[in-house]
Structure 1
Amino acid sequence: MARSTLKQAALSRRLLFLALTGVAGCAPMKARSPSSSGLTPDEAHQETVVRRYFDEVWSQGRLEVLDELLAAGYINHTPSAPNPPPGPGGLKPIVAAFRVAFPDLHFTIEDLVVSDDRVAVRVRMEGDHEGPLFGIAATHRRVSVEQINIELFRGGKIAEHWRVTDELGLMRQLGVVR
């Protein structure tokens, strides 16, 4: 790839991160892999935690892992799940409900950006709707929906979480809306 194209791609990713987090003047964007020398040890740890969060918790349904990955006072700022109790205990019923609705639920990390104490990650959620989901009876339809998540770290754990999901796309795929 041409050098100017690489620079443009890097700038685009940085601008996306700034837009997502609202952080002005944050540190230069770091590499996306913990094996890269551009990440600090804390940033490499944060990336590992986020990868485990989507793989072990959401894709595998291992709720007990939340106790290890989330801070005791974890705050979930997600608009579609207003004011869940703080801490891992507030997220466990949400994950459990999704795992009942989509027993084969799988998250794929599409993009991941680490900068200082935050990780921004774009994921794809996929699964077959085989159980009730917040009042919506099983439709037996396959869904594939994108999300953007921002995780704020304190003391090596996820302390705050923001998520935006293509919920209209999800409802369309389930046949709830047209």
Structure 2
Amino acid sequence: MNTIIEHNRRLLTSYFEQVWNQGQVDVLDELLATDYINHSPSTPNPPAGPAGLKPIVQAMRAGIPDLHYDILDMVVAPDKVAVYTRVTGTHSGELFGMPASHRKIDVRQMQVEWIRDGRIWQHWRITDEAALVRQILGQEPVQP
């Protein structure tokens, strides 16, 4: 059991560091199940598998080239990992239709990743997207 827990911890750490922080989208082929499902409310029904997540990562990194995820907390089980993250960066490119504002962003996310056969199989995420948009529009200061 401890080996599975440690594997899942490493899997999620790699996912955030290599994919989101460094933009290495090809790593998704190793980290995600071929039938991976993304349940994020802001991107309804993207294609299944790694191919469905790659353009989302690329769009986020194009809009926020210095995008960085800090793992603030992680609860690891044999079949699920809950991750609380801090997302920071500078909105210096187009982001899902919003032109660059050159403003800093700093928001929190709660994610639950379901693990099957050693890979991320399903993804559930809650982000304070209203705060993100207000920060991009300059209507809300970035959190300290």
Q: Same fold by TM (over 0.5)?
A: yes
Cα RMSD of the aligned pairs, angstroms, is 1.2
Residue aligning to 1:165: 127
State the TM-score, normalized to the length of structure 2.
Answer: 0.94
The separation in 1 between residues aligned to 2:77 and 2:8, in whole angstroms, is: 10
Cα shift readout 1:109-148 (whole Å, capped 9, x = no counterpart): 0000012210000001100001001110000001001000
Secondary structure of 1:164's aligned partner: strand
2:41 is the counterpart of 1:79: yes
1:5 paired residue number: none
Match of 1:64 among 23, 26, 38: 26
- In structure 2, distance between residues paired with 1:81 and 1:47: 25
Name the aligned partner's letter for residue 115 of structure 1.
A
TM-score, length basis structure 1: 0.76
- Tell me the number of residue pairs that the alignment of Structure 1 and Structure 2 aligns: 140
Q: Distance in 2 between matches of 1:118 and 1:126?
A: 25
Q: Counterparts of 1:116 and 1:160 in 2: how far apart (Å)?
A: 14
| Identity, % of aligned positions | 51
Instruction: Return the alpha-carbon distance in structure 2 between the equivalents of residues 134 and 53 of structure 1.
Output: 22
In structure 2, the partner of 1:100 is 62
Give ranges in structure 1 of 5+ residues lacking alignment: 1-38
Q: Which residue of 2 aligns with 1:31?
A: none
Please tell me the residue identity of whatever aligns with 1:83. Answer: N
Aligned to 1:52: 14
Question: What is the rounded CA distance, in whole Å, between the counterparts of 2:16 and 2:26 in structure 1?
Answer: 13
Q: Which of these residues, 107, 112, 126, is aligned with residue 150 of structure 1? A: 112
Checking the alignment, whether the CA contact within 8 Å between 2:8 and 2:78 is kept in structure 1 is no
* Structure possessing the higher radius of gyration over alpha carbons: 1
Q: Which residue of 1 aligns with 2:91?
A: 129
